[in-house]
Amino acid sequence: MSKKIPVLGTALGILVAAFIGAVQARDDGRYSLSPLKPWFDSLRSGKGPCCSDADGFALSDPDWESKSGHYRVRVDNEWIDVPDDAVITEPNRAGRTMVWPIKGSLGTSIRCFMPGSMT
């Protein structure tokens, strides 16, 4: 019986960690009064809604690049190729280059990427 407790404890720990991760990825309300909030909430890539599963953030120019029509971004000091279906093609109202990464057991993947307005 004592062998089952660590397994249950491990499973419970994994569930708690997954729940905490899911809660942290949701909108915390700090931008609820921003005039751009409805627009951000509506953003979608070919991978689905951007803001529903991941927190987005702005990238500085040295942290993204375009080559041969494809993008890559630097997240946590790691360069990651942006899948073509993760690129948001509508005009960027925020102006800044943004990325919505998702961290999982296989590493970081990109849910959405929006190039800057290039102005």
Asked if the model's pLDDT at residue 2 lies above 70, the reply is no
Give the percent of the chain with pLDDT over 70.
71
Whole-angstrom distance, CA of residue 81 vs CA of residue 89: 17
pLDDT at 37: 86
pLDDT at 8: 39
Please give the average per-residue pLDDT across 61-68, as a whole number: 93
| Res. 1 pLDDT band, cuts 50 70 90 | very low
Give start and end residues of each alpha helix (H) in 25-117.
37-42
Q: What backbone phi and psi angles, to 5 degrees, belong to 78?
A: -125, 130
pLDDT at 28: 61
Whole-angstrom distance, CA of residue 49 vs CA of residue 68: 26
pLDDT at 57: 92
End-to-end CA distance of the chain: 65
- What is the average pLDDT value for the chain, to the nearest integer? 78
The answer to whether the beta carbons of residues 88 and 40 sit under 8 Å apart is no
Q: Which tens digits make up the pLDDT trace of 14-52?
A: 333 433 333 333 456 666 778 888 898 899 999 999 987
Output 2 or 53, whichever has higher pLDDT.
Answer: 53
Cα dist from 59 to 6, 78, 100, 108, whole Å:
42, 13, 10, 16
pLDDT at 52: 75
